[in-house]
Amino acid sequence: MPVETRYFRSDTHTVNNLAARKLGTAQSSSYVSETISSYEGNVQVTQYLGIKVWKRDAGGNETDLTGGSVGAIASGSTSGLKSGTRSQASEDLVETDCIVIRVYADDFSPPSTLKDSFVTEQLGAQSLDAASWTAYYSLFRVYAGGMTTYSLRFGTVTYNSRIDSFAWSSGGPPPAAPRSIGDGLSWVQRDA
């Protein structure tokens, strides 16, 4: 059962007909900054960040694993890594399924503004395992030109947005093939 850290990467790929950023096991080398909110003046306003989770099959059909609710909600009004947790229930998968994470952020709780989408590779898994996920979001605040702007940054070790404790199980070994011994016939000796 792999238990992984999955990083919000800056690069993209297409999996099961979805073009999105990679949710990978290693960090990328450049960052992306997604603006969350802007305000006049030098102010501090609490920002909220969270995720929704889907499994997506090879045909592009998605199953919502969060019941429509944003989870792993974090909040903050200053720059830094903010975290939130959610309980991921066990979910059956087929080998060609991937997991899609969509990140929401704004100045309301729960956040409802989609900021970006991330997708794993086809996992080759039989299940997404029950685990307590911790999502980390790199919140960045800057005051310039009379405006305060908040952004979500991700993609590098400096802006290390990620999910910890992403757990899944691969399929078991293939069943053993039946074997025959000799010509496959059984002989029973009878008394005359």
Q: How far, rounded to the nearest angstrom, does the alpha carbon of residue 79 sit from its chain's CA centroid? A: 23
For the chain, what is the mean pLDDT?
92
Long-range pairs, 80-83, Cβ under 8 A, ≥24: 80/138, 80/139, 81/136, 81/137, 81/138, 81/139, 81/160, 81/161, 82/49, 82/136, 82/137, 82/138, 82/139, 83/134, 83/135, 83/136, 83/137
Residues 6+ apart with CB under 8 A from 184: none
Nearest to 139 by CA among 156, 151, 155: 151
Q: Is the pLDDT of residue 70 over 90?
A: yes
pLDDT for the residue 175: 45
Domain boundaries, the chain: 3-24+32-165
pLDDT for the residue 3: 94
Instruction: Tell me which of 31-40, 75-84, 145-154, 174-183 is least confident.
Output: 174-183
Q: Which amino acid is at 4?
A: E
Q: Facing residues of 142 across strands? A: 149
pLDDT for the residue 40: 98
Q: Which of left, alpha, beta for 59 (phi over 0: left; psi -120 to 50: alpha)?
A: alpha
pLDDT in tens, 2-52: 899 999 999 999 999 999 999 999 999 999 999 999 999 999 999 999 999
Rounded Cα distance, 30 and 177, in Å: 49
pLDDT for the residue 61: 97
Q: What are phi and psi of 24, to 5 degrees?
A: -110, 170
How far from 74 is each of 106, 120, 161, 167, 175, CA to CA, in Å? 11, 22, 12, 21, 45
- How does residue 1 score in pLDDT terms, banded at 50, 70 and 90? confident
CB distance 129 to 169 below 8 Å: yes
pLDDT for the residue 190: 53
Q: Which pTM value belongs to this model?
A: 0.87
pLDDT for the residue 113: 98
Instruction: Kindly state the greatest CA–CA separation across the chain.
Output: 109
pLDDT in tens, 74-114: 999 999 999 999 999 999 999 999 999 999 999 999 999 99
